[in-house]
């Protein structure tokens, strides 16, 4: 059926041969689980026509054996049921037992609550599941704390409630399970803050005598066990093999450049119209809300049927309307930002279109997972934009389709973060020296000296004049939070580095699919004021960086170069910004911002002799190009945005005295990203090499070397020189490690 | 070490922002004053907590149980189902007391049950539970019902903490009438290591009291107390009968006073002038300064301030009771 569909598509009048590649992922048969369940749960599954899969059974069994579990099977594999069933069983066996479920966003917690209420009523259980967060009405709060056995909340709320832990004594003392769902959100700085928060929570739970098992549920990552350990401090059993039934997935790799006369938006609109006309329920993911609306309107004009656009922030009734419409078929097409990547039960659809690579394979496959009903075949269309990462996948479809996922880094060990969480812990329960590592003990002593902690026979007691939980924010590291507000409403908080880089006056800023324009940036007050506006251009700052190497923590000699990782000090000057419309720079304006000096993590490559044959006038351009390629491929290996990594190239760096490329974490104090790239360097270099070598352009293009974020306007760049350098970097892997 | 300082220093700065720089109160001497010299009258208990006693010639108007009982019986709203409307209606029909209501076809059972719960003479706990169930917190019956307990059973209390929440209690005052005068006892923790001993002393005072009186204690002091008990893993005290005079002050003086801070009520209504006192917001800063410097001169003004807070509470209750009497 899908083959006929594609044939039809190719015969359409507007089709110009854009399908560059086709791949078919064969369907898989269900691998059922033989695990025995209590009859009340078994009957419920029967009534709903649900069969249990092997991976769900594995989670149940591991949980029964008292293990922590991290499940990373793909989207739509029934992860939610995989952790709900063991919880229900545990709470049925223990009439006092309780469970706590943590969600990164309230909307996701509410989605899960709906599922729990449904099971509860269908099974005739009495568990009183409830969400408890800032939206919980005052009248319900006492009742929930007193009687609820399942509580759903989010890290920000939990952070504020922990000091009042005696109000949760019953739940903590009887806690059988802690579920951390959508755990892939907890990466980077936010992730490490949540990791410390979880450690504080577990400490308090232990104080009340609770001994919960932890279940982490996450989208697919390369390093589930490492991730689980980083987030909770405990080892977890990894369940990753998907036993669910999958239909065949036909993947079309669409090259919009084949028809340069039509924009990506217009080509996608045709595609969407084509599919919905034929009754194929399709979801289309875009990067911005503006383009979601443009596509849904254009698709409707092109003859598409019953297409709606969707974004975050819809009221519950609107969401329910969408779910209903998709379920009963009255809505045939929905165009959305990442808001519909997870949560909200829309069931499976027939086709998914990805407009632009969403930044990670994790996200891409979450989105792709929205298409596919059981064993029915489904269609996935990937439509790349013109940037290195998107075009890379077009040229290397195997990478897109393969099982590899990004590593999720949770950087621990930042003393400033640790100090904050130690202060919070001491405000929750006296902090005994016995439970601290030497580094933590040293921090605690430092906190005493600064008057935040008092040593007492029972441990350190917090004595700051302001509440610890107010001065320790979860979302950032430096504490010099810059708040972004729109009409006095808080939209986001960010690091001052990011604020200078992405939220300068006049900048176009993207937040959850909506575009905003920055009216004012006040770094002293830590405030960015923006206004909501749909614009058809984007902006990019022009910066110059200086990097001073402070310390080298690891070194790996290679053939022709040295690979190092350590700490650097970056001085970033802001020169101005440019306005870009449809990939063309239309204006350049000056900026008046003070230079930013910060310390961060970094890795660097110092060439010894491998680049001798490059003409000196081409050296910088070659290094620069290689630097761009490496940064462009970074998100393939580590879960981050390309914007999280900064770079600098120098033909003769002051400290190394050699041609050098530096990659550093673009956030104050660092987040462990470039250190993770250092660990995975060989794979990074291979991909960067493949990217540039495989590009058919002459001198470098947006698909390989040109970066829209380059602070020096992509000058100078030498494509042949970059290829040469990247060759050296990959050649280094074949050699045995040279000793000094 | 430098790395630690930087990591911690920022946090410490943030902990201090918003607080006025500490200053010594005018009557504090220069030079380090030792604790025993600052409070020569204080005694230290086995837990290390300092106790400072004081007596003041205060008294309260006599409340008698008969008058209280009459007032209680006249409050028909204490029966489940009877609100303002039914009260008016029942009065018209000649029912003016709960005793008379016992024969009412509709409300008889409920009245009987209520009076049985109260007992004879009425049990203060049962009565206050009824009040809290049906009456707004500023109703004068809360004050009148104090007549159910002997004056010696009233315990006034006030806490000083290092902050708003999750903060240690370093100073507490409790006061009660005994031997014809008002006795105040203040517990001062010379360091946070003695906070537990302070809490334990407070706990035994609370256990021996019939009714607790405070200013904003229901929202603040009691909550903090429970929090600190939980912080040290001590058994939480049961909530005693607690009358919060803030609610009553607001009702009585809200129209004439710009706000209901105790200091404002003191000045505007009670006519109490404190000389050389420091603003409440500075109390924690002075204790913190004492911890840093070891100079007990910082503690003298805050002990005095805390003591006056408690004395003003008694004067306030006296005024409120007289006003209720006149009404």
- Read out DSSP for B259-325? ---HHHHIIIII----SS---GGGHHHHHHHHHHH--GGGHHHHHHHHHHHHHHHHHHHHHHHHHHH
The pLDDT of residue B120 is above 90: no
Contact at 8 Å (CB) between A91 and A150?
yes
Q: What is the mean pLDDT of residues A614-634?
A: 91
The pLDDT of residue A739 is above 50: no
Contacts of B9 in chain A (CB under 8 A): 450
Confidence of residue A293 (pLDDT cuts 50, 70, 90): confident
The pLDDT of residue A626 is above 90: yes
DSSP character for A550? E
| Distant-in-sequence, close-in-space partners of A357: CB < 8 Å, separation ≥ 6 | A364, A382, A384, A385, A389, A390, A393
Structural domains of chain B sorted by starting position, each given as residue range(s) with its CATH number in brackets: 2-60+150-326 (3.30.420.10), 76-134 (no CATH)
Confidence of residue A149 (pLDDT cuts 50, 70, 90): very high
Top mean pLDDT of A387-391, A480-484, B87-91 is at B87-91
Instruction: Mutation target for A interface from B231, B235, B283, B293: give the one with most A CBs within 10 A.
Output: B231
- A443, B4: Cβ pair inside 8 Å? yes
In angstroms, the Cα distances linking A466 to A261, A475, B18, B122 are 61, 19, 9, 45
Token look-up 């919880």 returns: A87
ipTM above 0.95, yes or no: no
Instruction: Mutation target for A interface from B3, B10, B11: give the one with most A CBs within 10 A.
Output: B11
Task: Give the number of other CB atoms < 10 A from CB of residue B164.
Answer: 13
> For residues B158 and B186, what is the distance between their CA atoms, to the nearest angstrom?
9
Contact at 8 Å (CB) between A425 and A202?
no
Least confident of A152-161, A335-344, B179-188: A335-344
Judged by DSSP in three states, A685 sits in helix
Tell me, what's the pLDDT at A359?
81
Tell me, what's the pLDDT at A476?
57
**Euclidean distance between the first and final Cα of chain B, in Å?**
68
Distance of CA A570 to the CA centre of its chain: 25
Q: How does pLDDT run across B31-71, given as a tens digit for each residue?
A: 778 888 889 888 988 889 999 999 999 988 888 888 889 88
- A466, B14: Cβ pair inside 8 Å? yes
The pLDDT of residue B152 is above 60: yes
Q: How far is A91 from chain B (nearest CA, A)?
A: 26
> For residues B187 and B177, what is the distance between their CA atoms, to the nearest angstrom?
18
In angstroms, the Cα distances linking A148 to A119, A137, A209, B4, B105 are 16, 15, 18, 42, 40
The pLDDT of residue A737 is above 50: no
**Euclidean distance between the first and final Cα of chain A, in Å?**
63
DSSP character for A287? S
**From A480, which residue of chain B is nearest by alpha-carbon distance?**
B10
Q: How does pLDDT run across B177-235, given as a tens digit for each residue?
A: 998 899 999 999 999 999 999 999 999 999 889 999 999 999 899 999 999 999 999 98
Q: What is the mean pLDDT of residues A447-452?
A: 92
Contact at 8 Å (CB) between B169 and A463?
no
Contact at 8 Å (CB) between B276 and B300?
no
Contacts of B17 in chain A (CB under 8 A): 466
Confidence of residue A738 (pLDDT cuts 50, 70, 90): very low
How many residue pairs from chains A and B have C-beta atoms closer than 8 A?
123
Tell me, what's the pLDDT at A736?
45
The two three-digit tokens of residue A599, written as one number: 């310390």
Tell me, what's the pLDDT at A616?
84
Instruction: Look at residues A603, A621, A635 and name the one whose alpha carbon lies nearest to residue A723.
Output: A621
Q: How does pLDDT run across A517-555, given as a tens digit for each residue?
A: 999 999 888 899 999 998 888 888 888 889 999 999 899
Q: List, as one string, the DSSP characters of B134-202.
A: HS-TT-HHHHHGGGGS-GGGEEEEEEEESSSSS--EEEEEEEEEETTEEEEEEEE-SSGGGHHHHHHHH
> For residues A90 and A97, what is the distance between their CA atoms, to the nearest angstrom?
7
Instruction: Look at residues A548, A544, A567, A592 and name the one whose alpha carbon lies nearest to residue A668.
Output: A567
Asked, as a colleague might, if the bond just before A716 is cis with ω within 30 of 0, I would say yes
What angle, 0 to 180 degrees and rounded to 10, lies between the N-to-C axes of helices A224-232 and A188-207? 60
Q: How does pLDDT run across A364-382, given as a tens digit for each residue?
A: 998 998 898 888 899 999 9
Average pLDDT, chain B: 88
> Hey, which residues does B155 pair with through a beta bridge?
B212
Q: What is the mean pLDDT of residues A607-625?
A: 86
Tell me, what's the pLDDT at A374?
82
DSSP character for B235? P
Tell me, what's the pLDDT at A358?
87
Closest Cβ opposite residue A429 in set B7, B14, B231: B231
> For residues A568 and A602, what is the distance between their CA atoms, to the nearest angstrom?
6
Q: A447-479 burial, b if ≥16 CB within 10 A, otherwise e?
A: bbebbbbbbbebbbbbbbbbbbbbbbbbebbbb
The pLDDT of residue A709 is above 80: no
In this predicted model, which residue has the larger pLDDT, A614 or A165?
A165
> For residues B162 and B166, what is the distance between their CA atoms, to the nearest angstrom?
9
Q: How does pLDDT run across A415-442, given as a tens digit for each residue?
A: 888 999 999 999 999 999 998 999 999 9
Contacts of B164 in chain A (CB under 8 A): 467
- A430, B232: Cβ pair inside 8 Å? yes
What angle, 0 to 180 degrees and rounded to 10, lies between the N-to-C axes of helices B283-293 and B299-326? 160
> For residues B298 and B285, what is the distance between their CA atoms, to the nearest angstrom?
9
> For residues A167 and A132, what is the distance between their CA atoms, to the nearest angstrom?
13
Contact at 8 Å (CB) between B248 and B320?
yes
Q: A690-714 burial, b if ≥16 CB within 10 A, otherwise e?
A: bbbeebeeeebbbbbbbbbbbbeeb
Least confident of A51-60, A243-252, A469-478: A469-478
Tell me, what's the pLDDT at B275?
82
Q: What is the mean pLDDT of residues B245-259?
A: 91
Average pLDDT, chain A: 89
Contacts of A463 in chain B (CB under 8 A): 162, 167-168, 192, 288, 291
Tell me, what's the pLDDT at B63?
82
- A166, B226: Cβ pair inside 8 Å? yes
> For residues A38 and B181, what is the distance between their CA atoms, to the nearest angstrom?
69
- A428, B11: Cβ pair inside 8 Å? no
3-state helix, strand, coil in chain A (%, to 5): 40, 25, 35
> For residues A693 and A704, what is the distance between their CA atoms, to the nearest angstrom?
9
Instruction: Look at residues A561, A538, A565, A726 and name the one whose alpha carbon lies nearest to residue A643.
Output: A538
Q: What does the radius of gyration of chain B's CA atoms come to, in whole angstroms?
A: 23
Torsion sign across C-alpha atoms A483, A485, A489, A490: negative
Tell me, what's the pLDDT at A740?
35
> For residues A653 and A667, what is the distance between their CA atoms, to the nearest angstrom?
22
The pLDDT of residue B172 is above 90: yes
- C-alpha torsion angle, residues A344, A348, A351, A355 (rounded to 10): 20
Q: Where are the alpha helices (DSSP H) in B28-77?
A: 35-38, 65-73
| Distant-in-sequence, close-in-space partners of B224: CB < 8 Å, separation ≥ 6 | B159, B161, B165, B167, B169
The pLDDT of residue B327 is above 80: no
In angstroms, the Cα distances linking B133 to A13, B117, B192, B297 are 76, 14, 38, 47
Distance of CA A655 to the CA centre of its chain: 35
Q: How far is B11 from chain A (nearest CA, A)?
A: 7
DSSP character for A76? T
Q: What is the mean pLDDT of residues A588-599?
A: 88
> For residues A648 and A623, what is the distance between their CA atoms, to the nearest angstrom?
9
Closest Cβ opposite residue B8 in set A166, A446, A457: A446
Q: How many residues does chain A have?
A: 740
Contact at 8 Å (CB) between A221 and A639?
yes
Instruction: Mutation target for B interface from A193, A208, A459, A466: give the one with most B CBs within 10 A.
Output: A466
Q: How does pLDDT run across A482-514, given as a tens digit for each residue?
A: 889 998 888 887 778 778 888 999 999 988 678
Tell me, what's the pLDDT at A732?
64
Contact at 8 Å (CB) between A223 and A408?
yes
Instruction: Look at residues B106, B69, B70 and name the one whose alpha carbon lies nearest to residue B86.
Output: B106
Instruction: Look at residues B312, B304, B305 and name the one whose alpha carbon lies nearest to residue B281.
Output: B305
Q: What is the mean pLDDT of residues A559-585?
A: 87
Contact at 8 Å (CB) between A354 and A528?
no
What stretch of H or E contains A705? none
Instruction: Look at residues A567, A629, A620 and name the one whose alpha carbon lies nearest to residue A598.
Output: A567
């Amino acid at each position: 059926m899908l083959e006929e569909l594609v044939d039809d598509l190719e015969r359409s009048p507007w089709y110009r041969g854009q399908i560059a590649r086709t791949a078919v992922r064969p369907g898989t048969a269900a691998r059922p689980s033989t695990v025995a369940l209590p009859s009340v749960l078994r009957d419920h599954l029967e009534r709903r026509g649900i069969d249990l899969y092997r991976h769900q059974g594995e989670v149940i069994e591991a949980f029964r054996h008292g293990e922590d579990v991290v499940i990373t099977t793909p989207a739509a594999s029934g992860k939610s049921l995989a952790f709900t069933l063991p919880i229900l069983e545990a709470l049925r066996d223990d009439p006092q037992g309780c469970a706590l479920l943590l969600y990164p966003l309230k909307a996701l917690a509410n989605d899960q609550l709906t599922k729990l209420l449904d099971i509860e009523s269908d099974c005739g259980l009495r568990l009183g599941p409830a969400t408890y967060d800032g939206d919980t009405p005052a009248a319900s709060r006492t009742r929930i704390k007193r009687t609820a056995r399942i509580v759903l909340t989010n890290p920000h709320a939990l952070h504020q409630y922990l000091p009042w832990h005696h109000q949760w004594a019953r739940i903590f003392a009887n806690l059988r399970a802690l579920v951390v769902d959508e755990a892939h959100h907890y990466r980077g700085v936010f992730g490490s803050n949540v990791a410390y928060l979880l450690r504080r929570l577990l400490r308090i739970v232990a104080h009340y005598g609770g001994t919960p098992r932890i279940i982490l549920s996450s989208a697919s990552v390369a390093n589930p066990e490492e991730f689980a350990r980083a987030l909770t401090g405990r080892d977890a059993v990894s369940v990753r093999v998907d036993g669910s039934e999958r239909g065949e997935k036909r993947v079309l790799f669409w090259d919009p450049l084949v028809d340069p006369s039509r924009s990506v938006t217009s080509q996608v609109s045709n595609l969407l119209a084509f599919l919905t006309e034929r009754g194929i329920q399709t979801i289309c993911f875009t990067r911005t809300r503006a383009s979601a609306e443009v596509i849904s309107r254009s698709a409707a004009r092109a003859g598409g049927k019953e297409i709606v656009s969707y974004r975050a922030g819809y009221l519950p009734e609107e969401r329910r309307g969408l779910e209903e419409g998709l379920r009963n078929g009255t809505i045939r097409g929905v165009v959305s930002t990442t808001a519909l990547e997870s949560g909200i039960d829309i069931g499976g659809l027939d086709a998914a279109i990805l407009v632009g690579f969403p930044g990670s394979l994790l996200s891409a496959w979450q989105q792709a997972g929205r298409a596919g009903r059981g064993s029915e075949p489904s269609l996935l269309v990937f439509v790349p934009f013109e940037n290195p990462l998107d075009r890379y996948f077009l040229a290397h479809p195997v990478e897109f389709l393969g099982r590899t996922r990004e590593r999720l880094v949770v950087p621990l060990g930042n003393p400033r973060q640790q100090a904050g969480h130690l202060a919070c812990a001491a405000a929750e329960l006296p902090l005994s020296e016995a439970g601290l590592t030497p580094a933590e003990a040293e921090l605690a002593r430092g906190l005493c000296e600064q008057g935040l902690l008092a040593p007492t026979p029972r441990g350190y007691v917090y004595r700051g004049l302001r509440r610890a939980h107010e001065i320790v924010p979860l979302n950032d590291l430096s504490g010099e939070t810059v708040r972004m507000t729109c009409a006095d409403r808080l939209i986001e908080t960010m690091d001052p580095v990011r604020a200078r880089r992405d939220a300068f006056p006049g900048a176009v800023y993207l937040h959850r699919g909506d575009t905003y324009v920055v009216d004012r940036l006040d770094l002293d007050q830590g405030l960015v004021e923006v206004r909501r506006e749909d614009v058809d251009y984007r902006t990019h700052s022009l910066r110059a960086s200086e990097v001073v190497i402070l310390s080298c923590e690891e070194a790996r000699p290679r053939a022709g170069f040295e690979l190092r990782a350590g700490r650097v000090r970056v001085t970033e000057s802001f020169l101005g910004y440019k306005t870009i419309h449809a990939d063309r720079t239309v204006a350049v304006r000056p900026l008046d911002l003070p230079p930013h000096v910060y310390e961060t993590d970094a890795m660097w490559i110092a060439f010894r002799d491998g680049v001798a044959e490059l003409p000196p006038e081409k050296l910088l351009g070659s290094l620069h190009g290689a630097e761009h390629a490496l940064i462009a491929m970074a998100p393939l290996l580590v879960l981050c945005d390309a914007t999280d990594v900064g770079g600098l190239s120098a033909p003769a760096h002051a400290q190394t005295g050699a041609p050098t490329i530096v990659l550093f974490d673009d956030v104050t104090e660092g987040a462990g990203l470039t250190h993770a790239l250092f660990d995975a360097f060989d794979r990074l270099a291979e991909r960067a090499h493949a990217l540039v070598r495989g590009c058919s352009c002459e001198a470098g293009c947006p698909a390989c070397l040109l970066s829209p974020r380059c602070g020096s306007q992509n000058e100078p760049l030498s494509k042949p020189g970059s290829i040469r350098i990247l060759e050296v970097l990959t050649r280094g892997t074949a050699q045995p490690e040279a000793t000094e | 070490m430098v790395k630690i300082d930087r990591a911690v220093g920022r946090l410490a700065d943030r902990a201090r922002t918003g607080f006025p720089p500490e200053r010594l109160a005018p009557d504090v001497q220069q030079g380090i004053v030792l604790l025993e010299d600052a409070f020569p009258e204080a005694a230290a208990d086995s837990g290390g907590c300092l106790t400072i006693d004081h007596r003041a010639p205060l008294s309260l108007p006599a409340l008698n149980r008969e008058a209280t009982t009459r007032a209680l019986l006249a409050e028909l709203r204490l029966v489940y189902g009877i609100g303002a409307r039914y009260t008016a209606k029942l009065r018209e029909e000649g029912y003016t007391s709960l005793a008379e209501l016992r024969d009412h076809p509709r409300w008889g059972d409920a009245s009987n049950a209520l009076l049985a719960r109260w007992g004879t003479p009425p049990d203060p706990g049962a009565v206050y539970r009824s009040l809290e169930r049906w009456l707004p917190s500023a109703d004068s019956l809360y004050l009148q019902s104090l007549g159910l307990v002997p004056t010696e059973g009233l315990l006034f209390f006030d806490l000083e903490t290092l902050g708003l929440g999750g903060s240690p209690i370093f100073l507490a005052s409790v006061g009660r009438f005994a031997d014809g005068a008002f006795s105040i006892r203040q517990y001062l923790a010379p360091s946070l290591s003695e906070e537990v001993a302070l809490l334990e002393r407070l706990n035994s005072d609370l256990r021996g009291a019939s009714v607790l009186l405070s200013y904003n204690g229901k929202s603040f002091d009691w909550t903090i107390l429970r929090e600190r008990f939980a912080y040290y893993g001590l058994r939480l005290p049961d909530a005693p009968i607690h009358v919060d005079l803030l609610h009553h002050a607001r009702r009585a003086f809200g129209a004439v006073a710009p706000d209901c801070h105790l200091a404002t009520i003191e000045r505007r209504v009670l006519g109490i002038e404190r000389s050389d006192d420091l603003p409440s917001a500075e109390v924690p800063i002075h204790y913190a300064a004492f911890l840093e410097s070891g100079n007990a001169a910082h503690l003298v003004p805050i002990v005095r301030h805390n003591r006056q807070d408690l004395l003003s509470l008694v004067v306030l209750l006296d005024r409120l009771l007289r006003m209720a009497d006149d009404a």
